[in-house]
Structure 1
Amino acid sequence: MSVSRQYTPLDPASAPASPIVLGTMAWGAAPAPAPGEGPALLAPAGPEPAEAARERARGALRAGIDAGVDLLDTADIYGAGVSEETVGALLHELPYEERSALKVQTKCGIVLDEVDADGRPMVRYDSSPEYVRARLEGSLARLGELRVDTLVIHRPDVLTPVADTVRAFLDAREEGLVGKLGVSNLGVGRTLEFQRELAAQSADGTGLACVQVELGLHHRTLVESVILANHPGAAADADVADLGRVCAAEGIELQAWGSLGQGRFSSGDDGAAGVVGEVARELDTSREAVVLAWLLRLPWGVRPVIGSQDPGRIAACADAVAAAEAMDSAQWHRLWTAARGAPLP
């Protein structure tokens, strides 16, 4: 089969060994419950399964390192802080050569530990300088680190001026606490606000390191907003239609969370999962590699974030770049059509 396009990162000179980012949302947490039994990914494991939970994470980290991963993604709210504690503990177990090759990005900006006047749990977003600084210091303490590579603003706080959040980041960077700033779940307008404010306030004209959004065969808003323009089937874009092109033009890394679709394509012979299996057989690769290759074929330098702790699935993702190099246009469109569940116009 002829190679129709080779995966190319935004900056080939500093390209990682693997485009894959290893997500750690469930590290240190009890296994997720069966559907309908309630959320557990943000809850720490109890005392009995704690060591088993850490062992699962240890296996995931080893599989990630073996697959060439160089970036771990966590957040202050994951496992109520247990994810960061687990990441930090496992990093400190590594030999210097392996530890020094790994970068860590964490996130802040979602407040989950408050209740309303009636005592009901509530969620709000906060990117105020005081909150960002406090959460960064807390993350560093849980990670056992003096510095984190990237701090990502988890959700948009429209009540805090972007300039104030940027100033808080730059102050922390000047103190050596953080290297870069990223954002998550933002549209084009808000992303560019951060980009312009960073350039205006920083002495070196620094820009955003990354934008993280949900993206994959199961969540195709960015793709369909572009390709299905002027068609009734186009996704409602909420200011994200041009995000891929803007990130590529601005040199901002586009990270895709949820990229494996929570495992919905990893087995089965019906629907989109069946087509994923067909293409995997044609390319002599894994289903996971096919799902990620579909993203890597996009012209935006996408880096998929994978949240699996299964060493076998993580290893299966390692072939994604080769699969992207081999995947032709017909196979890419077959996958997209199957995921849509309807013919293309």
Structure 2
Amino acid sequence: MTAQDTAPQTPAASPLILGTMGWGDVERARGALRAGLEAGIGLLDTADIYGAGASEETVGALLAELDPAERTRLRVQTKSGIVLHEPGPDGTPAVRYDNSPAYLHDRLALSLERLGLDRVDTLVVHRPDVLTPVSDTVRAFLDAREAGRVDALGVSNMGTRRVLEYQHALREVSADGTGLACVQVELGLHHRMLVESVVLANHPAAAPDGGAGDLGEVCAGEGIEIQAWGPLGQGRFTRGSDGTVPADPAEQAALAAAGGAPAVVARVARELEVSREAVVLAWLLRLPWGVRPVVGTQDPARIASCAQAADAAARMDGAQWHRLWTAARGETLP
């Protein structure tokens, strides 16, 4: 036996992303991060508004605890562009979007301070600000990259046309032809618009696509990674098949909206010998667009269950994929 045979094995890289929206309690988040590392997850996703900065502070504290080998396995991305709780003239807090260079410059500086980092791997524009020209936001990113504060640019919650505006503007002005790194959108068995706008085209059952109907195919063609937020749909497909009822009213409502789909998810999970969470995520991984689910749970056991998704996707056949889709729709395909 050689020293290499007895050395600790590095987990295989996972397509999953560990979301940190709920991170605030360091001890609980530490368990989530440890489970993520054990699952081979290599990307943390946060935002300046998560917990009013508490998420970034917690991420920073936990990154500082890691040994160098573990730290080098992790990339960090943060989001900016949403202004929360800004009081209006009557004192009522409101929400607005700001992608201006000055705002992004200041928010990135605050994010780096909270994270305890000199740079982040990706800065994601959280929501579109139609008052700021895309070219101005792109220039702000390039300035930050030149200053060594960020490596890549992404966008979130944007339609195809806006995504392509960013892609073209970035490639036109960047010296090395850099394009967008990623697009974040809500996507999952519960939020199937990107799928159904393609498959059910020219059919009355097609859902309004919000200007993003062809986003999956466009991003695949442009080499832009799609990151799916909320992929587990608040657990609506992974709870309830055993007859239990969640205590949380929001989870009860989500479960009711799922209809008979949890039973189908449980059946496919038995067929593939994986967890129900893995089945739900595998449905996304089977899409030909290179989708990466952003998993937001802090439960180590659930993170471990999600980690089976790549294996489940590799073994899920087309019939199982369509059974899941049909069950989630609540009606047969046309």
The residue aligned with 1:46 is none
- Alpha-carbon distance in 2 for matches of 1:263, 1:213: 18
- The code of the aligned residue for 2:17 comes to V
Which of 111, 128, 134 is the equivalent residue of 1:162? 134
Taking the aligned partners of 2:29 and 2:237, their CA distance within structure 1 comes to 23
Deviations 1:73-117 (A, max 9, x none): 000000000000000000100000001110000000000031111
Secondary structure at 1:207's aligned position in 2?
coil
Instruction: Give the counterpart of 2:16 among 6, 13, 20.
Output: 20
Q: Distance in 2 between matches of 1:173 and 1:151?
A: 10
Runs of 4+ in 1 over 4 A off after TM superposition: none
Q: Does 1:189 align with 2:156?
A: no
Query: In structure 2, how many angstroms separate the alpha carbons of the residues matched to 1:80 and 1:142?
Result: 11
Distance in 2 (alpha carbons) for counterparts of 1:189 and 1:237: 12
How do residues 131-150 of structure 1 correspond to structure 2 at under 5 angstroms?
131-150=103-122
Alignment match, 2:7: none
Distance 2:204 2:221 in 1: 28
Inter-partner Cα distance in structure 2 for 1:165 and 1:253: 20
Quick one: which of 310, 317, 320 aligns to 2:299? 310
Identity of aligned residues (%): 72
Deviations 1:157-216 (A, max 9, x none): 000000000000000000000000000000100000000000111000000000000000
Match of 1:179 among 151, 154, 161: 151
2:266 counterpart SS class: helix
TM-score, structure 1 normalization: 0.88
Partner residue of 1:83 out of 35, 49, 55: 55
Q: Does 1:227 align with 2:199?
A: yes
Q: Equivalents in 2 of 1:18, 1:57: separation in Å? A: 19
* C-alpha separation in 1, matches of 2:302 and 2:261: 19
Q: Which amino acid aligns with 2:279?
A: V
- In structure 2, the residue matched to 1:323 is 312
The 5-angstrom pairing of residues 278-297 of structure 1 reads 278-297=267-286
Structure 2 CA distance for aligned equivalents of residues 182 and 60 of structure 1: 25
Q: Counterpart of 1:314 in 2: which secondary structure?
A: helix
Return the alpha-carbon distance in structure 2 between the equivalents of residues 231 and 56 of structure 1: 47
Q: Which has the higher contact order (CA 8 A, sep 6+)?
A: 1
Within the candidate set 158, 174, 180, 1:208 is matched to 180
TM-score where L is the length of structure 2? 0.91
Corresponding position of 1:11: none
Report SS of the residue matched to 2:218.
helix
Secondary structure, in 3 states, of the residue corresponding to 2:61? Answer: helix
Structure 2 counterpart of 1:305, one-letter code: V
Take 2:159 and 2:274, find their aligned partners in 1: how far apart are those partners? Answer: 34
Provide the secondary structure at the position in 1 that maps to 2:79.
strand
Amino acid at match of 1:251: G
Offset, 1:267? 1.8
Task: Give the whole-Å Cα distance in 2 for the aligned partners of 1:149 and 1:187.
Answer: 23
What are the superposed Cα offsets for residues 262-315 of structure 1, whole Å, 9 maximum, x if unpaired?
Answer: 111222226111110000001000001000000000000000000000000000
* SS of equivalent residue, structure 2 residue 293: strand
For residues 231-260 of structure 1, what are the alpha-carbon distances to aligned partners after superposition, in whole Å with 9 as ceiling and x for unaligned? Answer: 111110111110000000000000000011
Number of residue pairs the alignment of both structures matches: 306
| SS of alignment partner, residue 259 of structure 1 | coil
Query: What is the letter of the counterpart of residue 23 of structure 2?
Result: W
Residue identity matched to 2:262: A
Q: 2:330 aligns with which of 322, 335, 341?
A: 341
**2:93, 2:296 → 1: CA distance?**
26
Within 2, Cα distance between the matches of 1:238 and 1:112?
24
Deviates more, 1:257-266 or 1:165-174: 257-266
1:69 maps onto 2:45 in alignment: no
Aligned to 1:12: none
Partner SS for 1:245:
helix
Q: Could you say what secondary structure the match of 1:303 adopts?
A: strand
Please, which of 46, 58, 61 is the counterpart of residue 30 of structure 2? 58
Which SS does the other structure have where 1:266 is aligned? coil
